[in-house]
Structure 1
Amino acid sequence: MSTSDVTKDGITGARPDRDALTGATRPGRRRRRRGEQLMVPDAEFGSYYGKPVLNQVPWAESDIAGYLFLGGLAGASSGLAAGAHVTGRPALATAMKLTALAAISGSVVALVHDLGRPARFVNMLRVFKPTSPMSVGSWLLAGYGPLAGAAAISDLTGLLPRAGTAATLAAALGGAAVAAYTAPLICDTAVPAWHDGYREMPFVFVGSAAAAAGGAGMLAAPMAQALSARRAAVAGAVLETLALYRMRARMGLAAQTYDRGRAGRLMKAATTLTVAGATGAVLLGGRSRLAAALSGAALLAGSACTRFGVFCAGTASAADPKYTVVPQRARLRARAGDLADREEPADTVRGN
């Protein structure tokens, strides 16, 4: 107990040997020593009346998740179509060109349906903003769609074969961007399950798109011409599976949303279907037409489940405030600890 007192002449009765602060300690901050146990546990997180911290995802699942899946399928199909066209596999090339056209058409329809009216999509083309994934994506769709359509129509009618070849090759270049850009589109948000996976999500989407396009080629083309489709399907399945594993291992708390509820069921189905489809493509895809078709259908379904699962995980993470606030607090504590470690040597010198 301190016996000091404040008088008009100053402080009397002070006992520095007991009350003075050393240089290693600052008022208002107490550093916990290594191995020291807190007597009071950390409080559990709770938000204001349990309300979400973030604005909820306003997009319809069927529209935007379908848009993500169909856009990836279209882009990868154009790449596979160009390869088949150049290497003399006409049946596979025709099937992939038609798949790309149908998929990109469905993708645009889903996007416009979510926007409410076509004029809103047209309005996004009034400005090109390189830093905006939505702006870049709108221009990609506007440029890629006509190319995919020209390639398919020329192939079906036989008209303007040179122009059709040019459109096929150009659609393959644009298709690569279309298959990948939706990953930064959703990761460039505050939604934890999307934003925290920004490093691996492009690989997940590209792998998923390649698996879907390969599966479509296995379904539509004869086995004699479907070797490149099987290879693309297997490579895409491996890339998607590994990227998903890495993403969920690195994300931390937000990775829980990929294991729970509707998102968890969809992601488990995606993994099962993708692995089964890739295995069938390797073991039986070149021997049995039925096995090739079933494997292709499994790969298509697995890719769709991946996109819908990612979308549902995002909506779940935005609805629960702990996925936003708890990681933020952890990052703040880590920064404070780093700052304290940098300041400790100077404090210790003053204390000595």
Structure 2
Amino acid sequence: MGAGPDGRSGGSSTGPVDACPTGVTGGGGRAGRGPGRRGRADADLAVPPAEFTSYYGRPILKPPVWTWEIAAYLFTGGLAAGSSLLAAGGQLTGRPAVRRAGRVAALAAVTASAGLLVGDLGRPERFHHMLRVAKPTSPMSVGTWILTAYGPAAGLAALAEAAPLLPERGPLGLARRVLPPVGRVAGLAAAATAPALGTYTAVLLSDTAVPSWHEAYPHLPLVFAGSALASGAGVGLLAVPPAQAGAARRLAVAGAALELFGAHRLETGLGLVGEPYRTGRAGRLLRAGRALTAAGVAGALLGRRSRPLAAISGAALLAASVATRFGVFQAGVASVRDPRYTVLPQRERLARRRADDAATDTP
């Protein structure tokens, strides 16, 4: 039958140890085993590198159930906030065209926001049910109340722009006289609420367990605030003659600076969980957003006397805001699908905690 692995004849002499997949054999094979052989055996017995797979093929975290309506809601909320700030600037500086454009855009955007939110909730009464309680620790609850406070103010401010169209006499004559002062107060109230409206969605995303959203809590509000300001500036550049669009140009510069700085921190300051912001569909959207933002600001500054160039710049800023919001949304979804972004940061935090505990226990 030939020699077995231990040098003795007969394959039946091979014991259970000989069948070990590490290659360590029994019998006479023990005599020839030196340190090198033992080292190879130990290496064969080592646990292989972990593969980041999920239990029974299930993801470690449940993916967000939100659909494209929420990504669009992120954009329209920011647009409403930026437009109200633009309108307040036009109101305080005596630029009626800027004020009018901002108020109308704010009402259109907040109306779209309410529709998108109700569409995601599935039934309109669910929005009403969320108003039965006020929970300061819940970003969703706080955001619902912010939207509820902002919406009527933005609506009254936009309605006041229709006052000159009403007849001077009769029942509507009183509305013609009352609406402008009411609109001024409502416009400033909407502007006061606008910063919270434009950034609470960043807090809402950061409050989830989605790795690339949760770890980005210091930077997402900057991105969303800058994007909101830039989109409001885009409205001004599109709708206002260049001679009156100085406030929109300044708003564009401020918004672009905040957005680009925050986006840079998302990509470089989060370690591994910042990778989804650089790769895949999210990376392409965010790169497009940065390019459109830079182009929009450059066109706004260079097109001080050109209405077509100013309009193109405004459209670029609005498109940049859409790309940025959808890019952030897609980055979070991508980080849930790959277990690395959940497991490795947890291991790093655990290792740091153990190292801190060991340092504390050491006399």
Aligned with 2:198 (options 179, 182, 190)? 179
Partner of 2:146: 140
Partner secondary structure for residue 208 of structure 2: coil
Partner of 1:52: 59
Structure 1 residue 248, shift from structure 2 partner: 2.2
What is the letter of the counterpart of residue 186 of structure 2? A
CA contact (8 A) 1:270 1:305 kept: yes
Matched, 1:302 2:320: yes
CA RMSD of aligned residues (A): 1.4
Partner of 1:268: 287
What is the letter of the counterpart of residue 48 of structure 1? Y
Q: How does 1:148-297 map to 2 (within 5 A)?
A: 148-158=154-164, 159=176, 160=178, 161-282=180-301, 284-297=302-315
Question: In the aligned structure 2, how far is the partner of 1:243 from the partner of 1:56?
Answer: 25
CA contact (8 A) 2:243 2:305 kept: no
What is the letter of the counterpart of residue 316 of structure 1? A
Matched, 1:68 2:74: yes
Question: In the aligned structure 2, how far is the partner of 1:248 from the partner of 1:264?
Answer: 9
Q: 1:103-147, CA deviations, whole angstroms, 9 ceiling, x for partnerless residues?
A: 000011011111111101111000011111100110111111111
Structure 1 residue 257, shift from structure 2 partner: 0.8
Question: In the aligned structure 1, how far is the partner of 2:352 from the partner of 2:140?
Answer: 33
Matched, 1:326 2:333: no
Aligned with 1:101 (options 79, 95, 107)? 107
Structure 1 residue 84, shift from structure 2 partner: 0.4
Partner secondary structure for residue 135 of structure 2: coil
Partner of 1:19: none
Structure 1 residue 287, shift from structure 2 partner: 2.3
Bigger radius of gyration among the two: 2
Structure 1 residue 340, shift from structure 2 partner: 2.1
CA contact (8 A) 1:199 1:247 kept: no
CA contact (8 A) 2:242 2:304 kept: yes
Question: In the aligned structure 2, how far is the partner of 1:163 from the partner of 1:253?
Answer: 51
Q: 1:178-234, CA deviations, whole angstroms, 9 ceiling, x for partnerless residues?
A: 111111011110001111100011111000000010011100011111100011011
Q: 1:6-30, CA deviations, whole angstroms, 9 ceiling, x for partnerless residues?
A: xxxxxxxxxxxxxxxxxxxxxxxxx
The normalised TM-score by structure 2 is 0.81
Structure 1 gaps of 5+ residues are: 1-38, 347-352
Partner secondary structure for residue 182 of structure 1: helix
Question: In the aligned structure 2, how far is the partner of 1:50 from the partner of 1:267?
Answer: 30
Higher relative contact order (CA 8 A, sep 6+): 1
Question: In the aligned structure 1, how far is the partner of 2:297 from the partner of 2:89?
Answer: 20
Question: In the aligned structure 2, how far is the partner of 1:54 from the partner of 1:325?
Answer: 11
Structure 1 residue 44, shift from structure 2 partner: 4.1
Question: In the aligned structure 1, how far is the partner of 2:360 from the partner of 2:189?
Answer: 54
Question: In the aligned structure 2, how far is the partner of 1:43 from the partner of 1:78?
Answer: 52
Question: In the aligned structure 2, how far is the partner of 1:185 from the partner of 1:340?
Answer: 36
CA contact (8 A) 2:212 2:276 kept: yes
CA contact (8 A) 1:263 1:308 kept: yes
Partner of 1:316: 334
Matched, 1:122 2:128: yes
Partner secondary structure for residue 206 of structure 1: helix
CA contact (8 A) 2:267 2:278 kept: no
Partner secondary structure for residue 259 of structure 2: helix
Question: In the aligned structure 2, how far is the partner of 1:90 from the partner of 1:320?
Answer: 51
Percent of pairs with identical residues: 55
